[in-house]
Amino acid sequence: MLSRAPRPTVDVVIEVDGGIVLIRRRNPPHGWALPGGFVDYGERVEDAARREMREETSLDVTLVDLLGVYSDPSRDARTHTISTVFVGRANGNPQAADDAAEIGVFEEATLPKPLAFDHARIVADYYRFRRTGERPVPD
């Protein structure tokens, strides 16, 4: 029997000196995105977030906040995913690895467009959170 359950994922808005880290995806769907990925069976979302950040950015990230949970069934054209989105901090220079073809550090005014998935919404929510301290309100 085929499971119709959504797949859990994680994304992290990584704060580094000069902005936030985005990756240009090596695999479809292509485009710029927050680093992230699927949670493995038996893995805590916090551990998955740290693992994915090491794999895609070569950074050891400290998770400092939970931004929110994003679950729109259309957020990923491949399958229904539910993403737990963290804010993290890291030192050092990010290096593209694993699923990342390219990596960059961007300020709000220099973000590449368009961003993949629903990451434009997540990044806008992040900047609003940083300015006001208010977390995104569920729709």
| Torsion angle in degrees (nearest 10) through CA of 43, 9, 66, 123 | 150
In 3-state terms, what secondary structure has residue 111? Answer: coil
User: Phi and psi for 123 in degrees, rounded to 5?
Assistant: -65, -40
From the list 96, 126, 127, 77, the residue with the least C-alpha distance to 32 is 96
Catalytic residue check, 52: no
Given 15, 43, 56, 102, the catalytic residue = 102
Catalytic (active-site) positions: 102
